[in-house]
Chains A and B, each alone.
Chain A
């Protein structure tokens, strides 16, 4: 399949008074047409920063470091001037933000906010753009769209606002939609509505979606590929089935077991991951997960683990897959096809 977006060795740092916070530390991923890539991780693991970098929204004190590549349409966008970014942002790649109330402009009617995109990127005049805005609102399932197009964000409920956000993102038929925790602020019944809508729209428009979330449940039904992030790095990546049924990193395994399941055993204690993620101000010497890992070995504290590749492009960055490691683990180890040095 053709990759429409390729991110290579993405590094983002924030320069603060306390020092350099390395929020993203060398991340690689790619998305092909009509595919959904889910980036999963805890708060502070760098998933939102990665998404912002792909949208070109990193602002000072943040910088995308040299050597990072964001390849789209045969160009490395990191090296391009702002004018190139402006064409791409909103036109080719659009973002759905987590908090729709904060992301929408409270002083403009929703219609104007949708039309804005069309006027800038598609050379529509105002009247055409407003007509298109009504169509878009209908498409995302807002009843009485012709009336509601003139209303302001505060007149919409949480779920409806998120629908408006989706309409704005869809306005220019982008190739890629980045959805940054689109349902985290919503109730479960509304979350089900929004996810259903995103799936339908993807089927119809063949858009690629990068779905960022901390909820593995949301991802189960949607993601073709899953990347699990931890302290600025992707520690495991693979197809949805591989990640859910054959996790190869202890973090992924414990994350899957920390989620309470409706069909699971109620009396069983949840697997909790003790401790907290490391401080991103510090230079990480070994594996970032070392302090919370139940299967930590000597080498884990001293040397960063290499990335092992398995069948079906399933990758995991963990020493447990080294040929010398033996022992019984609740997740799969060993059997790597090839190894890349960290």
Chain B
């Protein structure tokens, strides 16, 4: 899957991306270590993994918020990290992020109308106050809020409403590609469904492309066409949503799926659960060989010594594991 694109019209191509953080004393934290994937127009790629696996760093590096260590991120064929000046500004107009924490990511001193139209002002897409108000009200209605909310401040809203404002802000400049960085993990279950349905609706309406970063596999399944599972900075399995949930191949994916409780007592009782022992090792000095070997019950000697390559095992199904032939 490296090098040449397999999708006809990829919006985002990530090739061998690496992002290392120096930790002092010569130590290096390998947050993202040789990750490759691509997303087609109008599609959603779900990026899942446990906390600390590098999924947020990956999302941020893709939008150019972090510089890269090596590899490349191509947005419609252009290298994101080499853009400067006018090109860079054009790029920021087509890419937006919805952040995880709607409490921390919105400025409490700005009115909602100012918040949602900030991008429009920066890109000179509105000329006067009146237009700003109109656009703000339009956007708020689009995400299911009311027009009169435009003159309020952010502390007057609940978590779900704030996340809607975050979404309105991202949609304002009509981007093509949105990185959703755990947009629902801070919300209640009943509100999560609202936001996921809203994101799907917007995608259908505006032909958006999403990189959906999350740790909740059951929600990701609902929104993604493709899912990539990350573990300690590496993608261990990448395939279509249906395939991943019906035929998970990597032992980590299997364990991750079996750890999710199903809200049905009878199904739960019959289910055999794979409980992983131990914690995720530190990404500062990951074990040599396969990153998952310390928690994998199938690990062989080869797993402790040699790092597995990403292999194609079916149409659109890629796994990095020595045991899959």
Residues of A that sit less than 8 Å from B by CB: 42-43, 157, 159-160, 187-193, 195-196, 214-221, 240-241, 244, 254-256, 258-263, 266, 269-274, 276
Q: Quick one: CB contact mask for B244-269 with A, threshold 8 Å, 1 for yes? A: 01000000000111111111110111
* Complex Cα–Cα for A240 and B263 (A): 11
Q: Is the CB of A266 within 8 A of B241?
A: yes
A221–B50 touching, CB < 8 Å: no
Name the one of B161, B261, B280 contacting A221, with C-beta atoms under 8 angstroms: B261
Does A276 lie within 8 Å of B158, measured CB to CB? Answer: yes
A-B contacts counted at CB < 8 A amount to: 126
Q: Which of B304-324 contact A (CB under 8 A)?
A: none
B215 close to chain A: CB less than 8 A: yes
B51 at interface by CB-CB < 8 Å = yes
- With a CB–CB cut-off of 8 A, which chain A residues contact B261? 191-192, 195, 215, 217-218, 220-221
Q: Tell whether A272 pairs with B256 under 8 Å between CB atoms, given A157-B279, A159-B279.
A: no
B217 CB-CB contact with A under 8 Å = yes
Contacts of B51 in A (CB 8 A): 187
Cβ–Cβ contact B265 & A220, under 8 A:
yes
Determine if B194 is an interface residue (Cβ-Cβ < 8 Å): yes
Interfacial chain B residues near A241, Cβ < 8 Å: 265
Q: Counting CB contacts under 8 A, is B65 at the interface?
A: no
Q: Is the interface of B mostly helix, strand, loop or mixed?
A: helix
User: Across the interface, which residues of B come within 8 angstroms of A214, CB to CB?
Assistant: 188-189
Assess A262 versus B188: contact at CB under 8 Å? Given A220-B268, A271-B193, A274-B194: no
| Extra 14 A-B pairs, beta carbons < 8 Å, given A188-B217, A189-B275 | A43-B159, A187-B215, A189-B256, A189-B259, A189-B276, A192-B258, A216-B263, A220-B262, A261-B264, A262-B221, A266-B245, A270-B193, A270-B196, A272-B194
CA distance A273 to B269 in the complex (A): 28
Q: Is the CB of A263 within 8 A of B221?
A: no
Known contacts A244-B265, A276-B161: does B217 contact A196 (CB below 8 Å)?
no
- In the assembled complex, 12 residue pairs joining A and B whose CB atoms fall closer than 8 Å, in A order, are A187-B280, A188-B256, A189-B255, A192-B258, A192-B273, A214-B188, A220-B264, A261-B262, A262-B221, A270-B197, A271-B193, A272-B197
A339 nearest CB across to chain B (Å) = 28
Report B188-246 residues with CB < 8 Å from chain A CB. 188-194, 196-197, 200, 215, 217-219, 221-222, 241-242, 245
Q: How far is the CB of B162 from chain A (nearest CB, A)?
A: 11
* B219: chain A residues within 8 A (beta carbon): 260
Q: Contacts A188-B256, A244-B263; is A273 near B275 (CB within 8 Å)?
A: no
Contact A266 B259, beta carbon cutoff 8 Å: no
Q: How far is the CB of A180 from chain B (nearest CB, A)?
A: 16
With A42-B190, A258-B193, A272-B190 as contacts: A266 and B221 at CB distance below 8 Å: yes
